[in-house]
């Protein structure tokens, strides 16, 4: 019997093969057949993740010119540059699913795709650079490490690169807070204030409780998501509380206590209305972040156009030379 | 730099390039990801900034994505069949008598 390789197998057969690969923990690669829902879910998630990385440059970029020493300034610039790189790895992963980076940026600029709500909080003092590195990057790492084993190959590989780079982000934040909290009383108070403002938003970074999370079950079945939001949040609290002791800083939660029975820290209720408000666009900095992003994109247009004109001119010259030869 | 290089443009903006990094001498280049750039020279510069910020490489290749010819995953089995039915290509296929060494 002849197998005609030009006609793809019927969809049911493709679906079965896809399901078997997911069950066997075999990675899905860009040119494999995949269900439309899987593709759409990944595009939405990877794009949102990429947007978060590049919007995340703003709250920290805010402090580059005012870093307290040349050492701190060099470190902060390297971190912000890493976040730009993370955005690029992720846009590149999203593009393997058949979308274009330009399209995704357009959707972000039109407000049709989201980014992490944590970046809609202002960075009011230098200590916020410490709290962001320690808590925000710390929470991001907790979320991202399981994504290294995501069923979609390019996303998993991008996450491996990102996770390697993130650990310096968290440490430099911890170091900033440690220095401040062992400095003058005013410096320690500044560190405490930053932790007070970033603690609860960091817990919200793990998303709504599993009971209220709409996409979780399907994403888990597809091998995109490995752990529930609540489980990752709990791990983050368990990891962070002892670090706060070393810092000599207080976690702003009167209900926080070690629970002998569960072997975990119990913590207070999260204000989910606050998260909803920010997701709807009413956070303290939503408008400012979007405005800054659009402006940066528009103001960069002449650079893109010039590079383009240069490339065309040289391509034309190369053709003429080879014609003459 | 010895690249000229031009590549077909995507519907929006700059063409896509695949990036390969040789992490150290003695190893071959490995695919690490892709990026957009107007020409080969800019693609190399961008690849350096995006993929080798921590000394991850001693050599970089950028290749227009459109220049890559790939086998189709759909014909996976038939395409690679010729390799699978020739078990005698593997040393484990052969029986070695007891006591023979260094073979
Ligand atoms: Fe990042
Ligand atoms: Fe980071």
pTM here? 0.90
Provide long-range contacts, Cβ within 8 A and 24+ apart, for A212-220: A212/A272, A215/A41, A218/A37, A218/A41, A219/A41, A219/A45
Does pLDDT of A319 surpass 60?
yes
**Tens digits of residue pLDDT in A169-227:** 999 999 999 999 999 999 999 999 999 999 999 999 999 998 887 778 899 999 999 99
A9 CA to chain B: closest CA distance, Å?
8
Predicted pLDDT of residue A215: 73
Architecture of domain B16-89: Roll (3.10)
Which among A33, A85, A311, A312 is the top mutation candidate for probing chain B, defined by the most B β-carbons within 10 Å of its own β-carbon? Answer: A311
**Tens digits of residue pLDDT in A1-57:** 444 556 667 889 999 999 999 999 999 999 899 999 999 999 999 999 999 999 999
CA A166–ligand 1 middle distance (angstroms): 6
Nearest CA in chain A to B9: A308
Three-state SS at B86: coil
Read off the DSSP letter of residue B39: S
Domain ranges of chain B: 16-89
Residues 6 or more apart from B10 whose CB is under 8 A from it?
A: A100, A102, B16, B36
Residues 6 or more apart from B52 whose CB is under 8 A from it?
A: B21, B60
Do the chains contact at A308 and B75, CB–CB below 8 Å? no
Q: Residues lining ligand 2 (ion), CB within 5 A?
A: A 137, 166, 169
ipTM reported for the complex, 2 dp: 0.84
Do the chains contact at A304 and B13, CB–CB below 8 Å? yes
CA A80–ligand 1 middle distance (angstroms): 9
CA nearest A118: which of A188, A64, A48? Answer: A48
């Amino acid at each position: 019997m002849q197998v005609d390789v030009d006609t793809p197998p019927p969809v049911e057969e493709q679906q079965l093969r896809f399901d078997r690969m997911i069950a066997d923990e075999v990675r899905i690669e860009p040119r494999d057949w995949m269900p439309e829902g899987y593709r759409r879910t990944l595009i939405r998630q990877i794009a949102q993740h990429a947007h978060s990385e590049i919007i995340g440059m703003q709250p920290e970029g805010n402090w580059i010119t005012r870093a307290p020493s040349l050492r701190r300034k060099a470190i902060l610039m390297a971190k912000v540059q890493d976040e730009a790189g993370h955005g690029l790895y992720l846009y590149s992963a999203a593009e393997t699913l058949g979308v274009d980076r330009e399209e995704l940026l357009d959707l972000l600029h039109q407000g049709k795709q989201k980014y992490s709500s944590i970046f809609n909080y202002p960075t009011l003092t230098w200590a916020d650079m410490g709290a962001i590195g320690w808590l925000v990057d710390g929470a991001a790492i907790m979320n991202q490490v399981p994504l290294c084993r995501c069923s979609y190959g390019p996303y998993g590989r991008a996450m491996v690169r990102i996770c390697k780079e993130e650990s310096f982000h968290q440490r430099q934040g911890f170091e900033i807070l440690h220095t401040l909290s062992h400095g003058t009383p005013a410096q320690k108070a500044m560190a405490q204030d930053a932790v007070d403002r970033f603690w609860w938003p960091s817990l919200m970074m793990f998303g709504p409780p599993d009971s209220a999370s709409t996409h979780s079950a399907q994403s888990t079945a597809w091998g995109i998501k490995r752990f529930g939001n609540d489980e990752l949040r709990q791990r983050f609290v368990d990891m962070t509380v002892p670090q706060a002791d070393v810092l000599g800083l207080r976690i702003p939660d009167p209900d926080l206590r070690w629970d002998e029975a569960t072997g975990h820290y119990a913590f207070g209720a999260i204000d989910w209305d606050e998260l909803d408000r920010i997701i709807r666009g009413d956070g303290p900095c939503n408008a400012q972040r979007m405005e800054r992003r659009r402006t940066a994109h528009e103001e960069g247009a002449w650079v893109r156009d010039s590079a383009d004109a240069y490339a065309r001119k040289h391509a034309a010259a190369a053709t003429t030379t080879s014609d003459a030869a | 730099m010895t690249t000229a290089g031009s590549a077909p443009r995507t519907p929006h903006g700059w063409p896509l390039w695949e990036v390969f990094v040789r992490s150290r001498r003695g190893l071959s280049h490995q695919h690490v990801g892709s990026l957009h750039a107007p020409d080969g020279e800019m693609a190399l510069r961008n690849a350096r900034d995006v993929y080798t910020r921590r000394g991850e490489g001693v050599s970089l290749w950028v290749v227009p994505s459109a220049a890559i010819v790939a086998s189709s995953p759909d014909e996976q089995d038939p395409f690679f069949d010729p390799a699978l039915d020739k078990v005698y290509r593997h040393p484990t296929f052969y029986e070695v008598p007891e006591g023979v060494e260094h073979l």
